[in-house]
Structure 1
Amino acid sequence: MANVDIRIRKVEALATPDELYTQFPVDEATSESIHQTRQTVNDIIQGRDRRLLAIVGPCSLHDPVAAIDYAKKLKVLSSEIEDEMFVVMRTYFEKPRTVAGWKGLILDPKMDGSYDIGGGIALARSLLLEIVKLGLPVGCEVLDPIIPQYIDELMSWSSIGARTTESQIHRNLASGLSVAVGFKNSTSGDLVSAVNAIKSAYQPASFIGMDGKGASAIFRTTGNDCCHLILRGGDQSPNYYEDDVESARILLEKEGLVPAIIVDCSHSNSRKNYERQKRVLRSIIDQVCWGEKSIRGFMLESNLLPGCQKIPSDLSNLKYGVSVTDACIGWDETQRIVLHACELLRKARLEGGSVQPL
């Protein structure tokens, strides 16, 4: 009897990336649009474009219909603020879990513990494709190192979460991703692991992965010069205040890195209270108006309706447009605070005017 896979109950075939490319192809016009939005994101991170990167969207996507509804609203808003902000829709499909909980649309699209991963990957790709065809760039958190093979060509930005920033596998993966990558500081609030991750991802690397045909392959990367720091707060306190941003900028500069910082308005920066996200955004805009150039953008957790909900046993009881993971601000609040933040930026740029509270 072979002493392998003794705890594997079943092995199932999975469609290859090439097969999903054929099923959900990217046309030439969409491909060119993604290329341009990636360049814009890179220019903002590198400081060549003065605008702020606004990464806005649900904590996680679970309902494709609601996701498209949200994307259409966000596309309209993005055109109204494009002189000061470049909007990327937050399209997160994978949820890291410390112990238990729903792991996201890719792993469990039916939200019933059946783990139809093949269906989840196909659904994620088709949903991203529909969003980018609206002319709205998308950004994803990268968790499973195989998943980017299925969706990498659709993304314009990505992030590595606080729990995986220290992972060498994810640092190597980031060095080869086709998009800018933000590394979050650790859940303790420590910045060193994220800064080390940025330094590591800047360098060429080699890692084992799966190619388009589904075969194991060695990937050798060029390194990624558009990696940056995401401040998301820590266990003890937020880290979006002026002194925190200044310390982060000095640390990046000391290490010879581009001082590019994105501030997460949620998580520990909002003390896990979604209604406090506007306070964080207000501080970010205030700092930018007063000349802090290292802040290259912000993240908002936003959905059609505010708050969150538990996943019911009867999925027909799910509330439309409400998060099933972290609580989010609703669309009306999103639109109000983003438009006002944009007006403050315009005023500061044109008149040097004072900052008014959100």
Structure 2
Amino acid sequence: MSMTINRQLPLPSELKAEYPLSPGVKALKAARDREIREVFEGESHKFLVIVGPCSADLEDAVLDYVTKLAGIQERVKEKLVLIPRVYTNKPRTTGEGYKGMLHQPSPDKAPDLLGGIIAIRKMHIRVMEECGLTSADEMLYPENRSYLDDLLSYEAVGARSVENQQHRLTASGMDIPVGMKNPTSGDLSVMLNSVQAAQASHTFLYRGCDVTTSGNPLAHTILRGGVDKYGICVPNYHYEDLMRLWELYGKRELENPAAIVDANHSNSNKKYREQIRIVSEVLHSRNYNPEVKALVKGVMIESYLEEGNQEIDCRRVYGKSITDPCLGWKDTERLLLSIAEKC
């Protein structure tokens, strides 16, 4: 094969033993998982906000951001559950560009997968220990999640991965909520097929083992907009879109019908300040119709310490995205407090 083996990486069990969780952090994780599960199961009426940088590119900046988020969580704890986006691997449409901290723990240096695996585990643990929150990440590479499966409280399957069989089968063996995004085409049936697959039991090959999963009743949809054949963004967060998804759910025997609305990506056409307006419209739709309120469990927002984005170079601004543009902290704080008032 045209492939060179650079090094043998440690097994997930070995890395977990080297960087373990304390009993207190394990208890925090169990409590957070229970709180989030209750939202998807309809036992809690709290609203989920999955919020944070497009990519977690610098550990200290991510920790500064999540520390601020933890302060807001304490203020809105009766209404909202805040889940920090600590996304450590990034899909690249053409294969070019920064692939996340998993690949490059230092964005301006060469790939280092061993260093990356260690860096992302240590960063997720710091978020839990120092901020009292547990995070969301994207399941871009299904077999890599075994290095983090004791840390995360939420995972998303992206628009480019949602039709992949291994992603769907792996999701069926997870014990936390997993959100299936609609594909870049915007096709809702593909997204719902993925949810259906993830909620079922499967037997398949995983990390060299023959495994059987029990199915994940917390698998659900994420609306992120689509792109038509002319490359024009087509949003799917409007009231009519939400009602259509409710009707499609009604035609399938799926557990815990739920949707998260991604306010960025093709819903905003990456105009990051539009996220404020989009979230406001989604909340209005929820308050207008009880069926929409029952369906839409939360929103996903991209924000960081500084607004916008920047190139990867020696003049980088601390806490500013090096991938998609994000809201800054001041706008984020106002938005989160507004959501708590309106949801």
TM range, smaller chain: over 0.9
* AA of the residue aligned to 1:206: T
Say which one has the larger Rg.
Answer: 1
Match of 2:49 in 1: 54
Provide the rounded CA distance (Å) in 2 between the counterparts of 1:61 and 1:149. Answer: 19
Provide the rounded CA distance (Å) in 2 between the counterparts of 1:29 and 1:77. Answer: 22
Provide the rounded CA distance (Å) in 1 between the counterparts of 2:42 and 2:250. Answer: 14
Match of 1:355 in 2: none
Residue 186 (structure 2) aligned to one of 173, 177, 189: 189
Provide the rounded CA distance (Å) in 1 between the counterparts of 2:106 and 2:270. Answer: 27
Match of 2:250 in 1: 253
Residue 112 (structure 2) aligned to one of 101, 113, 116: 116
Superimposed CA distance per residue, residues 23-55 of structure 1 (whole angstroms, 9 cap, x where no aligned partner)? 211011111211121122111112111111110
Report how far residue 240 of structure 1 moved.
0.5
Provide the rounded CA distance (Å) in 2 between the counterparts of 1:301 and 1:325. Answer: 11
Residue 64 (structure 1) aligned to one of 59, 79, 84: 59
Provide the rounded CA distance (Å) in 2 between the counterparts of 1:8 and 1:239. Answer: 41
User: What is the SS of the residue equivalent to 1:274?
Assistant: coil
* AA of the residue aligned to 1:335: E
CA contact (8 A) 2:108 2:312 kept: no
* AA of the residue aligned to 1:101: G
Match of 2:121 in 1: 125
Match of 2:297 in 1: 296
Aligned residues: 332
Residue 155 (structure 1) aligned to one of 152, 156, 160: 152
Q: What runs of 5+ residues in structure 2 fail to find an aligned partner? A: 228-232
Residue 174 (structure 2) aligned to one of 172, 177, 186: 177
Provide the rounded CA distance (Å) in 1 between the counterparts of 2:22 and 2:50. Answer: 25
Residue 216 (structure 2) aligned to one of 220, 224, 230: 224
User: What is the SS of the residue equivalent to 2:280?
Assistant: helix
Provide the rounded CA distance (Å) in 2 between the counterparts of 1:206 and 1:153. Answer: 22
CA contact (8 A) 1:152 1:178 kept: no
1:276 and 2:287 correspond: no
Superimposed CA distance per residue, residues 63-85 of structure 1 (whole angstroms, 9 cap, x where no aligned partner)? 00001000100000111111111
Report how far residue 108 of structure 1 moved.
1.7
Report how far residue 131 of structure 1 moved.
0.4
* AA of the residue aligned to 2:318: Y
Matches within 5 A, 1:1-358: 5=1, 7-99=2-94, 100-112=96-108, 114-133=110-129, 134-210=131-207, 216-235=208-227, 236-257=233-254, 258-290=256-288, 291=290, 292=292, 293-312=294-313, 314=314, 317-345=315-343
Provide the rounded CA distance (Å) in 1 between the counterparts of 2:152 and 2:318. Answer: 26
Provide the rounded CA distance (Å) in 2 between the counterparts of 1:97 and 1:113. Answer: 18
CA contact (8 A) 1:261 1:297 kept: yes
Superimposed CA distance per residue, residues 200-251 of structure 1 (whole angstroms, 9 cap, x where no aligned partner)? 01111123223xxxxx222211110000000001114111011100001110
Report how far residue 322 of structure 1 moved.
0.2
* AA of the residue aligned to 1:311: I
Superimposed CA distance per residue, residues 154-206 of structure 1 (whole angstroms, 9 cap, x where no aligned partner)? 00011000000000110001001231100000111111111000000111112
Q: Tell which deviates more after alignment, 18-27 or 264-273.
A: 18-27
User: What is the SS of the residue equivalent to 1:296?
Assistant: strand
Provide the rounded CA distance (Å) in 1 between the counterparts of 2:309 and 2:136. Answer: 21
Residues 1:98 and 1:113: Cα distance change in structure 2 (over 3 Å): farther
CA contact (8 A) 1:46 1:260 kept: no
Provide the rounded CA distance (Å) in 2 between the counterparts of 1:11 and 1:217. Answer: 23
* AA of the residue aligned to 2:103: L
CA contact (8 A) 2:273 2:327 kept: yes
Provide the rounded CA distance (Å) in 2 between the counterparts of 1:287 and 1:79. Answer: 26
Match of 2:230 in 1: none
Provide the rounded CA distance (Å) in 2 between the counterparts of 1:10 and 1:173. Answer: 25
User: What is the SS of the residue equivalent to 1:37?
Assistant: helix
Identity of matched residues, %: 34
Report how far residue 14 of structure 1 moved.
0.8
CA contact (8 A) 2:310 2:320 kept: yes
Q: What runs of 5+ residues in structure 1 fail to find an aligned partner? A: 211-215, 346-358
Superimposed CA distance per residue, residues 227-279 of structure 1 (whole angstroms, 9 cap, x where no aligned partner)? 00000011141110111000011101211223201000101111210010001
CA contact (8 A) 1:52 1:296 kept: yes
Residues 1:8 and 1:336: Cα distance change in structure 2 (over 3 Å): same
Superimposed CA distance per residue, residues 292-339 of structure 1 (whole angstroms, 9 cap, x where no aligned partner)? 221100000010000001111x3xx22100000110000000000110
RMSD: 1.2
Report how far residue 60 of structure 1 moved.
0.6
CA contact (8 A) 1:157 1:181 kept: yes
Superimposed CA distance per residue, residues 106-134 of structure 1 (whole angstroms, 9 cap, x where no aligned partner)? 01222246210011010000000010122
